[in-house]
Amino acid sequence: MSRRRMMRLGMSMRGLGYHPAAWRHPSVPADGTLRFEHYVRSAQAAERGLFDMIFFADGIGIRERDEPKGSLARSGYELVEMEPMTLLPALAPLTKHIGLVTTASTTYNEPYHVARKFATLDLISGGRAGWNIVTSWSQAEAQNFNRAEHLDYDTRYERAAEFVEVVKGLWDSWEPDALIYDRASGVFYDESKMHLLNHKGKHFQVMGPLNVAGMPQGRPILVQAGASDPGREIAAASADVVYAAQDNVASAKAYYDDVKGRMAKYGREPGALKIMPGVRTVVGRTREEAQAKFDQLQDLLDPLVGLARVYASLGDLTGFDLDGPVPEPQRPPQVRSSTERLLARARAQNLTIRQLYQQSVAGGFCLIGTAQDIVDGLQEWFEAGACDGFNVLPTHLPESCEDFVDHVTPELQRRGLFRTAYEGATLRENLGLKPHLNRYSAAGAVSASAAE
Amino acid sequence: MSRRRMMRLGMSMRGLGYHPAAWRHPSVPADGTLRFEHYVRSAQAAERGLFDMIFFADGIGIRERDEPKGSLARSGYELVEMEPMTLLPALAPLTKHIGLVTTASTTYNEPYHVARKFATLDLISGGRAGWNIVTSWSQAEAQNFNRAEHLDYDTRYERAAEFVEVVKGLWDSWEPDALIYDRASGVFYDESKMHLLNHKGKHFQVMGPLNVAGMPQGRPILVQAGASDPGREIAAASADVVYAAQDNVASAKAYYDDVKGRMAKYGREPGALKIMPGVRTVVGRTREEAQAKFDQLQDLLDPLVGLARVYASLGDLTGFDLDGPVPEPQRPPQVRSSTERLLARARAQNLTIRQLYQQSVAGGFCLIGTAQDIVDGLQEWFEAGACDGFNVLPTHLPESCEDFVDHVTPELQRRGLFRTAYEGATLRENLGLKPHLNRYSAAGAVSASAAE
């Protein structure tokens, strides 16, 4: 009898959680993003809940703007926080099993640094490193890196594709048996098994070899958002995990089938890629308690912070009655497509300004209810073939993470949808992915078998 | 009565130690540079010995060349190792007091990344981060970062000076009392105390603010080699610690007086900079035992690896009798200045080829003997006003570090030259440096007092 397919779970741990009023919640340490113990507590809770990985989004700058004026100082959201590539190694010795995945931008980094750092994280953590590949998008980040404007979309994606190839090449610099350490003969490594990359491309020229070797996972796990068309191609070609963003099961299934369908042309089995959409969850012992928990956060959302959420689409609404109707934009909006979408929704549902910005906070796939309700929702997607698991977006930390682990995880386990113990020693093994095969060992294996 | 001036000590922990044959020593884990526990053991030993800091040199590539052919595979030295900016955060939760200092190159990094990562390390470690500022020099590194040749000296130093100013500016983005966290009013930070850097220079344009704040040290400690003339100026202007390289007390004192003498024009007291030359130590219960320990390593030095050490100056000597005289170079050498110096020394001391390359391994300030001998040597420099302390270069790890802590440290303490417990909570406090004053708080304090 074949083993039942199990759900994969990631815990998104950026900042104080994904609700912008989280910092005002009485259970949340408002200064937590600058306190190591805050991250330790959530990471250890996620590990207690047998999550495959914790996941850190990142921005290399403060992306939010102070629009309307005064909103930024009231935001408390993605303002000051630890740099995750420095934070994750520190979490490694305080955890044992959980994967440690973080973001590094291909637009504002160099592949040699990224290859070295993630390889080192893999060594320190005993094979639990993952790299979330992003290209960055904000002008705020560009302005911290010598540019007035961010790179155009096509150039960013072209650079990203080459960047990833260079990093993968560097990770293969040393075949797994290259390091001999033969004290007696004095030979440290086998020269025939160390390989210079000698990459000469449009964006990068990188000689190699990498000065790190021996990663427990062969190479770290590659995570990608894979939303746009070129993003989907990179995911199909290279990613081990996709962090998807879908808001209903039909679109999630269409996305899932599309990306998995692109894999064959890269010689990859569908199982080699795990597609995990984000999901916001608020769990209570009753539906009423869950809703009250969420309402408490919504009530803590400062109106200026709420108005900042719709500023780019609708302009400055500070002069208007928050409990009145959404007015037509006074000036041409910055982001026209979302203007029309938001206005249409406001009109269709007869929303006030306050209701509109509160809705924007709860966007995407959002489950509020009992553990049974939440598992019903997750199970529906999972069994419909719309995903391989989920990335949980907690509203506020550490409480939402602990709530999930204490209430939702046991229900998933009762239904046989989720592990009851870690299966493997590495993130790769826990995700059910095959071992990485070094390109040179693989070539050697092929030529050896051809010679038989 | 004024408190006696105390020696500062750093432990240089790169790789398996500073003797190139360290990996062949029976006490050394040959694969230690890829094993986290190797670093943990030495770091914890150094902390047991009350060292101010552990220090990691770094190279962003394999700088050694395979000259003569076959030497690189026998080297085992600075080949594969953990990336220190990823390693140090992982050591933070496993230590409590010791400073965590590592290298980041101003030539192949961006200031925003460096500012963020070291600020985060300072937060994670509770105020123990230090940045060793280097400009890199090798062609091997250039070729890993899109360049055929490394940047010329003047450009590297000009870029370095601007880089450091940008990082320091970013670190001051948030005044210490900028973050209010006022849940009731909804105000997260005081807008008047967050500052955009808006740097527009020759090499960098960086808007800021940094998205990290609240460093326990105000800002991390700045370490610099300060060897060349522009390097000495940067040290006098900005550094908290200089990692000097001097081989005798007279030149060390001249260097010390020169650098300290340059500080006044930057408005700095001499005590604001700690000058700590490197010292190689081999300690035994007797002088004979110490010498035997060192000889054991010298005997393990593979001739090809030894010849690689003098290749750049003397060319390929693989055809010659190692126990015969040093021949004249066959072809013009790559590095003419050291050729003449090495040849002159070989002639003056009547050295064989083997003796010459063995000497090059023991270069600089080197103390081999009993704990009393070693402390005599350190005390001489310290009391001559040639230094504020030392950076210890262990021959092989963890043994040399443990030897120092078990034998030399107690003798230093007996003579009242070294602490018997950590004095402060942060590296800055343990080094006896004044608190960092945020530039904007300082300006505010001045203008407030002028207004009185």
**Which of B140, B183, B214 is facing A24, going by the closest CB pair?**
B183
Q: Which range is most confident: A310-324, A386-400, B349-363?
A: A386-400
Residue range B1-28: mean pLDDT, rounded:
91
Q: Determine whether B265 is exposed, middle or buried from the number of CB atoms within 10 Å of its CB (0-12, 13-18, 19+).
A: exposed
Residue range B422-450: mean pLDDT, rounded:
84
Instruction: Give tens-digit pLDDT for B211-255.
Output: 999 999 999 999 999 888 988 998 999 999 999 999 999 999 999
Nearest Cα residue in chain B from A63: B211
Helix (H, G, I), strand (E, B) or coil at B101: strand
- State residue B3's pLDDT score: 62
> How confident is residue A77, by pLDDT bands cut at 50, 70 and 90?
confident
Amino acid at A442: A
Shortest Cα–Cα distance, B137 to chain A (Å): 16
Is the four-CA dihedral B200, B205, B208, B212 of positive or negative sign? negative
Percent of chain B with pLDDT over 90: 85
Which residue in B36, B188, B197, B304 has the most chain A C-beta atoms within 10 A of its own C-beta, making it the best mutation to test that interface?
Answer: B188
Shortest Cα–Cα distance, A438 to chain B (Å): 17
- State residue B347's pLDDT score: 92
Higher pLDDT, A81 or A444: A81
Chain A / chain B CB contacts < 8 angstroms: 215
End-to-end CA distance of chain B: 36
How many CB atoms within 10 Å of residue B147?
14
- State residue A334's pLDDT score: 64
Residue range A265-291: mean pLDDT, rounded:
97
Answer whether B82 sits within 8 Å of A124, measured CB to CB. Answer: yes
Residue range A105-121: mean pLDDT, rounded:
97
Q: How are beta strands B199-200 and B205-206 bridged, if at all? A: antiparallel
Residue range B140-146: mean pLDDT, rounded:
94
What per-residue string of b and e applies to A237-256 under the rule 16 or more CB within 10 Å gives b? bbbbbbbbbbeebeebbebb
Amino acid at B390: F
Q: Which of B287, B243, B279 is nearest to B378 (CA)?
A: B279
Transcribe B178-194 into DSSP letters: -EEEETTTTEEE-GGGB
**Distance (Å, whole) CA A230 – CA B238:** 46
Shortest Cα–Cα distance, B302 to chain A (Å): 7
Helix (H, G, I), strand (E, B) or coil at B294: helix
Give A108's contacts in chain B (Cβ within 8 Å): 110, 112-113
Residue B373 CA to chain centroid, in angstroms? 25
Instruction: Give tens-digit pLDDT for B249-296.
Output: 999 999 999 999 999 999 999 999 999 999 999 999 999 999 999 999
Give A120's contacts in chain B (Cβ within 8 Å): 82-83, 86-87
Which residue in B113, B121, B141, B147 has the most chain A C-beta atoms within 10 A of its own C-beta, making it the best mutation to test that interface?
Answer: B113
Give A174's contacts in chain B (Cβ within 8 Å): 80
Which residue in A105, A182, A211 has the most chain B C-beta atoms within 10 A of its own C-beta, making it the best mutation to test that interface?
Answer: A211
**Distance (Å, whole) CA B308 – CA B313:** 10
Shortest Cα–Cα distance, A132 to chain B (Å): 16
Instruction: Give tens-digit pLDDT for A364-380.
Output: 899 999 999 999 999 99
Q: Which of B48, B14, B21 is nearest to B420 (CA)?
A: B48
Give A70's contacts in chain B (Cβ within 8 Å): 191
**Which of B116, B119, B186 is facing A24, going by the closest CB pair?**
B186
Residue B383 has pLDDT above 80, yes or no: yes
Using alpha carbons only, what angle is made at residue A407 by residues A401 and A408, rounded to the nearest 5 degrees?
Answer: 80
Give B188's contacts in chain A (Cβ within 8 Å): 23, 30, 73-76, 79
Residue A333 has pLDDT above 80, yes or no: no
> How confident is residue B341, by pLDDT bands cut at 50, 70 and 90?
confident
Nearest Cα residue in chain A from B38: A124
**Distance (Å, whole) CA B135 – CA B158:** 10
Residue A447 has pLDDT above 70, yes or no: no
- State residue B41's pLDDT score: 98
**Which of B146, B211, B305 is facing A80, going by the closest CB pair?**
B211
- State residue A329's pLDDT score: 81
How many CB atoms within 10 Å of residue A386?
23
Residue range A2-15: mean pLDDT, rounded:
89
Q: Which range is most confident: A207-211, A232-236, A440-444, B338-342?
A: A207-211
Which residue in A62, A144, A146, A190 has the most chain B C-beta atoms within 10 A of its own C-beta, making it the best mutation to test that interface?
Answer: A144
The answer to whether the peptide bond before residue A20 is cis (omega within 30 degrees of 0) is: no
Give B305's contacts in chain A (Cβ within 8 Å): 186
Shortest Cα–Cα distance, B452 to chain A (Å): 30
B342 Cβ neighbours under 8 A, 6+ residues apart: B310, B313, B314, B326, B356, B360
Shortest Cα–Cα distance, B250 to chain A (Å): 38
Residue A55 near residue A13, CB atoms below 8 Å:
yes
Instruction: Give tens-digit pLDDT for A216-256.
Output: 999 999 999 988 898 899 899 999 999 999 999 999 999 99
Answer whether A204 sits within 8 Å of B147, measured CB to CB. Answer: no
Percent of chain A with pLDDT over 90: 85
Instruction: Give tens-digit pLDDT for A186-200.
Output: 999 999 999 999 999
- State residue A348's pLDDT score: 93
**Which of B70, B94, B120 is facing A93, going by the closest CB pair?**
B94
Amino acid at A339: T
Give B119's contacts in chain A (Cβ within 8 Å): 83
Residue range B5-21: mean pLDDT, rounded:
96
Residue A313 has pLDDT above 90, yes or no: no
Answer whether B108 sits within 8 Å of A110, measured CB to CB. Answer: yes
Nearest Cα residue in chain B from A111: B145
**Which of B87, B112, B183 is facing A89, going by the closest CB pair?**
B87
Which residue in B63, B64, B83, B305 has the most chain A C-beta atoms within 10 A of its own C-beta, making it the best mutation to test that interface?
Answer: B83
**Which of A24, A119, A179 is facing B31, going by the closest CB pair?**
A179
B289 Cβ neighbours under 8 A, 6+ residues apart: none
Instruction: Give tens-digit pLDDT for B100-140.
Output: 999 999 999 999 999 999 999 999 999 999 999 999 988 99
Amino acid at B250: A
Transcribe B142-172 into DSSP letters: HTTTT-SSPPPHHHHHHHHHHHHHHHHHHHT
Q: Which domains does chain B have, with CATH numbers?
A: 8-288+364-441 (3.20.20.30), 289-361 (no CATH)
Answer whether A124 sits within 8 Å of B90, measured CB to CB. Answer: yes
Residue B85 CA to chain centroid, in angstroms? 13
Residue B159 CA to chain centroid, in angstroms? 20
**Distance (Å, whole) CA B30 – CA B36:** 13
> How confident is residue B340, by pLDDT bands cut at 50, 70 and 90?
confident
> How confident is residue A284, by pLDDT bands cut at 50, 70 and 90?
very high
Q: Which of B81, B85, B170, B174 is nearest to B129 (CA)?
A: B85
Instruction: Give tens-digit pLDDT for B179-195.
Output: 999 999 999 999 999 99
Amino acid at B322: L
Shortest Cα–Cα distance, B187 to chain A (Å): 5
- State residue B450's pLDDT score: 44
Shortest Cα–Cα distance, A54 to chain B (Å): 17
User: What is the average pLDDT score of chain A?
Assistant: 94
- State residue A449's pLDDT score: 46
Which residue in B74, B86, B145, B305 has the most chain A C-beta atoms within 10 A of its own C-beta, making it the best mutation to test that interface?
Answer: B86
Residue A452 has pLDDT above 50, yes or no: no
Answer whether A117 sits within 8 Å of B60, measured CB to CB. Answer: no
Question: If DSSP states are collapsed to H, E and C, what string results for A39-75?
Answer: HHHHHHHHHHCCCCEEEECCCCCCCCCCCCCCCHHHC
Shortest Cα–Cα distance, A393 to chain B (Å): 22
Residue range A301-327: mean pLDDT, rounded:
93
> How confident is residue A444, by pLDDT bands cut at 50, 70 and 90?
low
Residues pairing with A199 in the sheet:
A206
Using alpha carbons only, what angle is made at residue A38 by residues A33 and A39, rounded to the nearest 5 degrees?
Answer: 85
**Which of A60, A113, A208 is facing B112, going by the closest CB pair?**
A60
Shortest Cα–Cα distance, B303 to chain A (Å): 10
**Distance (Å, whole) CA B276 – CA B221:** 14
A206: left (phi over 0), alpha (psi -120 to 50) or beta: beta
Nearest Cα residue in chain B from A21: B186
Answer whether B36 sits within 8 Å of A123, measured CB to CB. Answer: yes
Minimum mean pLDDT among A107-111, A384-388, B319-323, B441-445: which range?
B441-445
Nearest Cα residue in chain B from A190: B73
- State residue B446's pLDDT score: 52
> How confident is residue B335, by pLDDT bands cut at 50, 70 and 90?
low
Nearest Cα residue in chain A from B190: A73
**Which of A120, A191, A205 is facing B146, going by the closest CB pair?**
A205
**Distance (Å, whole) CA B148 – CA A198:** 12
**Distance (Å, whole) CA B151 – CA B136:** 9
Answer whether A30 sits within 8 Å of B79, measured CB to CB. Answer: no
> How confident is residue A361, by pLDDT bands cut at 50, 70 and 90?
confident
Give B61's contacts in chain A (Cβ within 8 Å): 112, 207, 211
- State residue A448's pLDDT score: 45
Minimum mean pLDDT among B127-131, B147-151, B318-322: which range?
B147-151
Q: Which of B108, B223, B387 is nearest to A206 (CA)?
A: B108
Residue B400 has pLDDT above 80, yes or no: yes
Give A88's contacts in chain B (Cβ within 8 Å): 89
Q: Which range is most confident: B63-67, B148-152, B217-221?
A: B217-221
Pair of tokens at residue A326: 């959404």
Answer whether B145 sits within 8 Å of A206, measured CB to CB. Answer: yes
Is the four-CA dihedral A218, A219, A220, A222 of positive or negative sign? negative
- State residue A295's pLDDT score: 97
User: What is the average pLDDT score of chain B?
Assistant: 94
